[in-house]
Structure 1
Amino acid sequence: MNSFNAKQTLNVNGKAYQIYSLPAAAEHLGDFSRLPYSLKVLLENLLRHEDGRTVTADDIRAIADWQQTRTATREIAYRPARVLMQDFTGVPAVVDLAAMRDAMVALGGDPDQINPLSPVDLVIDHSVMVDTYGNASAFAANVEYEFQRNRERYAFLRWGQQAFNNFRVVPPGTGICHQVNLEYLAQVVWTKDENGETIAYPDTLVGTDSHTTMINGLAVLGWGVGGIEAEAAMLGQPISMLIPEVVGMKLTGQLPEGATATDLVLTVTQRLRQQGVVGKFVEFYGDGLNHLTLADRATISNMAPEYGATCGFFPIDAETIAYLRFTGRDSDRIDLVEAYAKAQGLWRDADSPDPVFTTTLELDLGTIEPSMAGPKRPQDRVILSQVAAQFKTKDFPGFSGLDYTQARTVPVAGTDYSLSDGAVVIAAITSCTNTSNPSVMLAAGLVARKAREKGLTVKPWVKTSLAPGSQVVSDYLEKAGLQADLDALGFNLVGYGCTTCIGNSGPLADPIVEAISSQDLVVGAVLSGNRNFEGRVNPHTKANYLASPPLVVAYAIAGNLAIDLTTEPLGHDANGNPVYLRDIWPSSQEIRDIMQTALTPEMFRSRYRNVFAGNAAWQQIDTATSKTYPWQSSSTYVQNPPYFTGMKPTASAATIANIYNARPLAILGDSITTDHISPAGAIKPDSPAGSYLTSHHVIPADFNSYGSRRGNHEVMMRGTFANIRLKNEMVPGSTGGVTKFMPSGEVMSIYDAAMKYQAEGTPLIVIAGKEYGTGSSRDWAAKGTRLLGVQAMVAESYERIHRSNLVGMGVLPLQFPAGSDRHTLNLDGSETFDLSGLENGITPGMTVTLTVHRADGSQTQVPLLCRIDTLDEVEYYRHGGILQYVLRQLLAV
């Protein structure tokens, strides 16, 4: 269907492409030339997929009319061009696809119907851990450990690579998925052959990692979704979404001397969090874009989850084209990108009028100062000159009123040094935010070189690591001669992938841990990442600061957060003279000069030429070749999940019903992140997950991380709500995954209580405060919740991705009205709850009545907002989840 006569031919270099022309559609829809660029991408998507059913002419008009209203409440069906996964979230997604094949067979269908219909790339980047560091053999040793720990998972992924069509795997040791996406996978304009024609359209994607947003810096519209939504997208289901509001952030001027892209992004994150952009698109405009490299833009886009936006979009311009050439992309594709963008009104230059936005704010790049963010939230920016003062205040989190003048000092056994409050025990150059950006990586190398020349060394208690986002980083650091300087300070290569930022920092030395634990010292980590939530980086670091790579090096040298790097020396040279940060900080010109000589397009072409082949260890992994996966009951990494157990070909009419006599599994506060909910990091031997692994003859040394075991629901459900920093208000004064089993009041692990409730048939709910589910798009935060038996969530507000994931797993998200919450209801966990109004089915945004029954016989009723927001979500919930819905749709074909 083509209601607006938009299909036209675009000729580039003698090749004809079919496009869905926005200017042609404007002849019927009216002038929408000042529509935000990101919405023009959505508009083209609807034009191309108009079918009169999932996409109608009215849907298209609603986006075209947005320029007048600058907001909309209309639901649209969006179909991204492709899906990107990393292995932590990708493994359970492939497990689910494998389970769907089994279910299809059990229901009498053809397992070949379960295949990705959209291109899928899975990049194995989350499994490397920093076990070995600070020496030349660290990389080889960590890779060896990685393959030893993850052989079962890798064999499963190699099976998926051959079993599923339209599915590619980038093997371990290549890079972080977002940087591989930026440097190689993304095309800006995508093409496919269909019915004898080549269709060209904007490259768009969803990813199973929230930092998928990084690719918006390359003008590719993309954001993170739960693995559940991603699986539906793979299987041809549209992503249901509301036409978003778009916040315009005008950038003017240019960065001053001494400021980095990291400082800029931390400022942007703080400003946009204050503005309030959750659930909205952010689009950057203004002449400041002319002074930002593509890598700078990608750094800003990467942090969209931290500032709360769905995405942070930059339009196509000359810098986009320059980056494609710089990274060795195909010349015909580059020419197509420029021609397509100009033909579609997607090109930005000095003559382009500013788009109109829902609201705008402005940032002068010239005001950016050196900054960090912490101690536990990425939006809490601290000017570098104030970090030490903040740490020393008695109100600093973790000190509990202790005056810093009484800072404790503890000797470290077997060494000649002591550890004190404020000690930096981890200094990590890691994560997709910064390791994609040559300017800050080279700056880190230059700081290391200048520090080395001054005779400075890293403090012996600091665990140092360098985990670049791609192998190209090593190439340009080597060519510049800077890797030797980083090595000299202990920043040896430890692996290519996500490490410290996701909790894969590896263990601290036992004497360090003993010193910390003996006085409960408040020690810290400084990392060039994007996440520093409590308990995420390492269980022993209470203060975690995000910083630019060169500042990571500086803090490794200083060794303590209580040192003011702007006024106090980092150390002393061979003659005893003080050396300050300003003495070793490179100038902008130094960084530009070395960038021009150290990076070449051939580096990218060479590294990505055989990107899917993998190393010898990957190629030697044996795997099955069957259409369905031969599950091994003995495996502790990959198990067939129970989502389809007893499933019938059609949904039962009784799926939606009132819930009576539910017990609370937990009552939680504000800003509960998916890290608090979803299992992440190390598995403790005395935890329910540790007990499970021990019972399967796995020794603690081989436990690996929760992330590596996401393909085994038995491990993951035991680790749900088990974060050491979680505070369940049902058990005042406690931390960790504990609750009270009611009505006895016995305190036990959340997992054990959930199993006891399931055994007696008691429905469960969880109650929480504001911003429930912030953070990464962890599908296990929803999967684990459902497998524990939780039927409904009641919170004051939700982060976008997690709310969607709850619906996708058949958990009912409900929201307190303004003025009502767990405090006004005086909840302590002894209550039982009814949820009524569901007996006649669900409609988006309906009211559900919560009745609170108290132990004294009294009761209170509260009207709740049903946060099933769209009609598609109603269908997912009615079927018991999105996977069941998709499976039944395919079975009916």
Structure 2
Amino acid sequence: MENPFRDAVADLKVGDEKLKFFDLLRIFSGPQLDLYRRLPFSIRVLLESAVRNCDGFHVLKSDVDRILNWEEVQQDNVEVAFKAARVILQDLTGVPVVVDLAAMRNAVKELGGDPNKINPIYPVDLVIDHSVVVDASRTPDALDVNQRLEYERNQERFKFLKWGAKAFRNMLIVPPGSGIVHQVNLEYLARVVFQTDDGLLYPDTVVGTDSHTTMINGLGVLGWGVGGIEAEAVMLGQAISMVLPEVVGFKLTGHLNSIATSTDLVLTITAILRKLGVVNKFVEFFGNGCQGLSIADRATISNMAPEYGATCGFFPVDVKTLEYLRQTGRSEKKVAVVEAYLRATGMFRDYSDISEEPHFTTVIELDLSKVVPCISGPKRPHDNVPITEVREDFEKALVNKIGFKGFAIAPEKAGQRAPLSYEGVDYELTHGDVVIAAITSCTNTSNPSVMLGAGLVAKKAVERGLTVKPYIKTSLSPGSGVATKYLQQSGLTPYLEALGFGLTGYGCMTCIGNSGPLHPAVAATVEQGDLVVAGVLSGNRNFEGRIHPSTRANYLASPPLVVAFAIAGTVVIDFDKEPIGRSPDGSAVYLRDIWPSRSEIEQLEREVIRPAMFEEVYSRVENGNSRWNALEAHPSELYPWDVNSTYVKYPPYFDRMSLNIAPIFPIRDAHVLLNLGDSITTDHISPAGNIARNSPAARYLTDRGVAPKDYNSYGSRRGHDVVMKCGTFANIRLVNKLVSKPGPRTVHFPTGEELDIPDVADRYIAAGVPTIILTGKEYGSGSSRDWAAKGPLLLGVKAVIAESYERIHRSNLIGMGIAPLQYLSGQTADSLGLTGKEKFTVALHDKLQPGDQVNISTDDGKVFNVLARFDTEVELTYYRNGGVLNYMVRKMIQSG
């Protein structure tokens, strides 16, 4: 079917160039124009995509009608189709995507199809940024050491990715050392407005396999994180099926005060929105307060959308966006096209014009002047703590029972101290002492205001004679090479280095768990003293067990506050009342003495940042670097799988697959593999950090001749299904109610033995016994990791019963053929009397429809209903096929 809106394609002249676009203001004329102008700007982007892609198959005319009538139907759970313009990946999630694509080529060929049909249709950018580890820090050669080790450990993965870039069309690989995926997206990859070879213009939209893909919304590009398996479907031309979201309008007024940073603002917004509840909703920012926020500030807010629970946090394009495009080296011609097109479609924003304000589902307001310096923790990003309350908050958490604000240290041990001998000098460690201080991750380390602020704090501190204790592992891992340039240009680099914040790499590093080892003496002291020590980082996630096994308390903070806490050496401090340190003459130095004003930072920012910096840094993307260019990868249609590889392996998803689809059957007499609580994150399910030497994954690698020093991380081995299966639920902080203490263990009920989780799972699989998981609220929150669904599948899990799900993870479970089931409102495992020791029969059936309930019975007589969380027909179609990968293989073969 031809596009019914094809006659609405209009001409747009920009300079000497004659371009084309779908003229929404002409399509929706008369009364419909009023509907259009009331739409939130984020919904207008969805509407344009539906109009442009309307083909009567993937995208229906009814999709257009529903989106236009968003105000009326927004709370009716209506399903619409959306086609994103491009896909972005990082290497930890990107490697398994490329592995899946390569395996799908094999599967298609084996089933008699053309393997070359497995090829990205839309542009795919893969940024390698999650593999570098802080092995070395506080030394002049730390950057070179860490990058050398990154290539040594990951050479096989990197060669595989180079093969993928050659084998698949429309795939760009951004080599290691180029920066964080989100910052590279913001500064270099984002189009804002796409222009095809024949001159058709349309908004840039993106889905990515990292949940913080949302950062791009700060630039006015609509985008969010999806599971890797869903991203693969998008690459291959499938539309995303989504429930048309409610849109929360977040009105910003006033200006940040002189001492608050953009990080303080985003942590405040995160706490507000998490309390409000915005899961599965868009958040769109408006109000005159937006005008005073730079694109970096806006991106910091958008970056944290997964932490406040929204699908995205959107800032429409305005004059600030155009200024940023110029600053980052985009051409004047490009900027002119962006402005002309968005004005012509009613998608250009003037935040000061009240008449432009759309209608929102609900509105919430924040006066920026009320924001105070704060941090978040000790275990969750949305647990906001004003700086003046950190001491009291930590001291309470120390003795509280185990929980998000509790460590269950006996009151008589709250003052515990343990001796530490470090490089010939004696120290003492106690609860709350800082052992990791990292300026790391995402836009926080490429937002000039907070980075220059950190440099100014360092400068003033060094001039007062303040230092950082040598045993604290400090690091600086910017999201972009541009940050290095403007810090050098400002003259602040030597002061940061003097306090230990020398350059360690361009990558996610500490925030993803690649914090590297602590000094053995520090780690031993922490363990022997049973100390709750702290990590302070400028990242966006601090979930339990994520940052480092030794740091039970982890706090998110602005880069200037990371420097401050490193100097103080403890989080048990009230900066208002207590000195941060003492100068050599013994005089007290308070944080206020070394804290720069906002105007001071802004003045420096205007002086040191130049477009040429961006042009120079990103000119290296296409040229690569010597290490990257030395890697050999020979092009071929099918990947030459190495059966001895411990990094890249042909996965078993297509074993015994046929072209026929089996009906949906009940799950009968399933044992519970794990009985879990609330807020089980993807870090609990599929850790990305180092592989412990006593783990099942370590045993597997050792059996294949891999030395412990070469185990590397789970993140780096995501191309190998056996290693990742062994690492599923390997988080040492996992609390499984079936066993007596935290850790990756469970019970094999037929024998009563307590074993490692993969060993129990293998016994059930061998006996043909299905398993399920019981869990609480927000199951699968955190990073969008497809292995958090693939791992349970390989462990034999058939269904999860939860109180609620994180959006991406629920999609991933369906994408791997696992049924996401949800307790009815008001019910929980406890209220139903479930212990996890029962056998469960889940009455799934072949006539299942979206929104249906299914019956569950247990062998001890309990009977209850749950909601089958297949929210759309497309999700049910994927589940019927055994997952989205199997669906795509069948589809490619059936298409000829």
Which TM-score applies when normalising by structure 1? 0.97
Aligned 8 A contact 1:433 1:528 in 2? no
Aligned 8 A contact 1:72 1:245 in 2? no
Q: Residue in 2 aligned with 1:521?
A: 531
What's the CA shift for 1:408? 2.5
What's the CA shift for 1:472? 0.6
Q: 1:158 aligns with which of 158, 162, 175?
A: 162
Aligned 8 A contact 1:410 1:420 in 2? no
What's the CA shift for 1:829? 2.6
| Structure 2 SS opposite 1:283 | strand
What's the CA shift for 1:105? 1.4
Q: Residue in 1 aligned with 2:648?
A: 638
2:661 & 2:14 partners in 1: Cα distance?
Answer: 50
Q: Residue in 1 aligned with 2:80?
A: 76
Q: 2:381 aligns with which of 378, 382, 385?
A: 378
CA-based RMSD of the aligned residues comes to 1.2
2:834 & 2:866 partners in 1: Cα distance?
Answer: 16
Matches within 5 A, 1:17-36: 17-27=19-29, 29-31=32-34, 32-36=36-40
Aligned 8 A contact 2:774 2:836 in 1? no
Q: Residue in 1 aligned with 2:713?
A: 705
Matches within 5 A, 1:398-437: 398-402=407-411, 406-412=415-421, 414-437=424-447
What do the CA deviations read for 1:744-773 (whole angstroms, capped 9, x no partner)? 211011100000000000011111111111
Matches within 5 A, 1:491-530: 491-530=501-540
User: Is it true that 1:179 corresponds to 2:183 in the alignment?
Assistant: yes
Q: Residue in 2 aligned with 1:543?
A: 553
What's the CA shift for 1:115? 0.6
| Structure 1 SS opposite 2:552 | strand
User: Is it true that 1:672 corresponds to 2:677 in the alignment?
Assistant: no
Q: Residue in 2 aligned with 1:341?
A: 342
Q: 1:853 to 1:16 in 2, by over 3 A?
A: same
Aligned 8 A contact 2:697 2:723 in 1? yes
What do the CA deviations read for 1:346-382 (whole angstroms, capped 9, x no partner)? 1111334211111110000000000000000000000
Q: 2:772 aligns with which of 740, 745, 765?
A: 765
Q: 1:68 to 1:834 in 2, by over 3 A?
A: closer
What's the CA shift for 1:30? 4.2
1:544 & 1:646 partners in 2: Cα distance?
Answer: 46
1:442 & 1:679 partners in 2: Cα distance?
Answer: 33
User: Is it true that 1:689 corresponds to 2:690 in the alignment?
Assistant: no
2:344 & 2:836 partners in 1: Cα distance?
Answer: 61
1:411 & 1:302 partners in 2: Cα distance?
Answer: 38
Runs of 4 or more, structure 1, over 4 Å off, are none
| Structure 2 SS opposite 1:10 | strand
Q: 1:666 to 1:147 in 2, by over 3 A?
A: same
Matches within 5 A, 1:101-250: 101-193=105-197, 197-250=198-251
Larger displacement relative to structure 2 (562-571 or 329-338): 562-571
2:83 & 2:76 partners in 1: Cα distance?
Answer: 19
| Structure 2 SS opposite 1:451 | helix
Q: 1:103 to 1:511 in 2, by over 3 A?
A: same
Aligned 8 A contact 2:92 2:718 in 1? yes
2:433 & 2:119 partners in 1: Cα distance?
Answer: 51
Aligned 8 A contact 2:415 2:430 in 1? no
Matches within 5 A, 1:344-359: 344-349=345-350, 350-351=352-353, 352-359=355-362
| Structure 2 SS opposite 1:27 | coil
Q: Residue in 1 aligned with 2:854?
A: 848
What's the CA shift for 1:405? 5.6
What do the CA deviations read for 1:537-591 (whole angstroms, capped 9, x no partner)? 0000011000000000011111011122222111111211111111111111211
Which TM-score applies when normalising by structure 2? 0.97
What do the CA deviations read for 1:488-513 (whole angstroms, capped 9, x no partner)? 11101000010111100000000001
Aligned 8 A contact 1:209 1:224 in 2? yes
Larger displacement relative to structure 2 (276-285 or 601-610): 601-610
Give the counterpart letter for 1:402 in structure 2. Answer: P
| Structure 1 SS opposite 2:38 | coil
What's the CA shift for 1:643? 0.5
1:176 & 1:411 partners in 2: Cα distance?
Answer: 35
What's the CA shift for 1:70? 4.6
Give the counterpart letter for 1:690 in structure 2. Answer: A
| Structure 1 SS opposite 2:87 | strand
**What stretches of structure 1 of length at least 5 have no aligned partner?**
none
Q: Residue in 1 aligned with 2:308?
A: 307
Matches within 5 A, 1:568-607: 568-607=578-617
Aligned 8 A contact 1:116 1:235 in 2? yes
2:738 & 2:11 partners in 1: Cα distance?
Answer: 64
2:461 & 2:620 partners in 1: Cα distance?
Answer: 38
2:443 & 2:270 partners in 1: Cα distance?
Answer: 12
2:391 & 2:685 partners in 1: Cα distance?
Answer: 32
2:848 & 2:11 partners in 1: Cα distance?
Answer: 45
| Structure 2 SS opposite 1:476 | helix
Aligned 8 A contact 2:417 2:428 in 1? no
User: Is it true that 1:659 corresponds to 2:663 in the alignment?
Assistant: no
1:314 & 1:82 partners in 2: Cα distance?
Answer: 19
1:839 & 1:310 partners in 2: Cα distance?
Answer: 31
Aligned 8 A contact 1:303 1:433 in 2? no
Q: Residue in 2 aligned with 1:888?
A: 890
Matches within 5 A, 1:788-803: 788-803=795-810
1:558 & 1:712 partners in 2: Cα distance?
Answer: 43
User: Is it true that 1:88 corresponds to 2:96 in the alignment?
Assistant: no
1:711 & 1:402 partners in 2: Cα distance?
Answer: 46
Give the counterpart letter for 1:827 in structure 2. Answer: L
Number of aligned residue pairs: give it: 882
What's the CA shift for 1:828? 2.4
Q: Residue in 2 aligned with 1:361?
A: 364
Give the counterpart letter for 1:379 in structure 2. Answer: H
Matches within 5 A, 1:708-857: 708-731=716-739, 733-836=740-843, 838-854=844-860
What's the CA shift for 1:61? 1.2
Q: Residue in 1 aligned with 2:66?
A: 62
| Structure 2 SS opposite 1:416 | strand
Give the counterpart letter for 2:569 in structure 1. Answer: G
2:74 & 2:868 partners in 1: Cα distance?
Answer: 26
2:144 & 2:846 partners in 1: Cα distance?
Answer: 61
Identity %, equivalent residues: 55
Larger displacement relative to structure 2 (379-388 or 344-353): 344-353
Aligned 8 A contact 1:62 1:72 in 2? no
Q: 1:640 to 1:454 in 2, by over 3 A?
A: same
Q: 1:484 aligns with which of 489, 494, 519?
A: 494
1:78 & 1:404 partners in 2: Cα distance?
Answer: 56
What's the CA shift for 1:403? 5.3
Aligned 8 A contact 2:44 2:347 in 1? yes
Aligned 8 A contact 1:683 1:706 in 2? yes
What do the CA deviations read for 1:391-428 (whole angstroms, capped 9, x no partner)? 12232522434257633333336432121111100000
1:820 & 1:198 partners in 2: Cα distance?
Answer: 55
1:316 & 1:599 partners in 2: Cα distance?
Answer: 22
Q: 1:203 to 1:696 in 2, by over 3 A?
A: same
Aligned 8 A contact 2:420 2:522 in 1? no
Matches within 5 A, 1:440-479: 440-479=450-489
What do the CA deviations read for 1:699-721 (whole angstroms, capped 9, x no partner)? 11111110000000110011111
What's the CA shift for 1:25? 1.8
Q: Residue in 1 aligned with 2:576?
A: 566
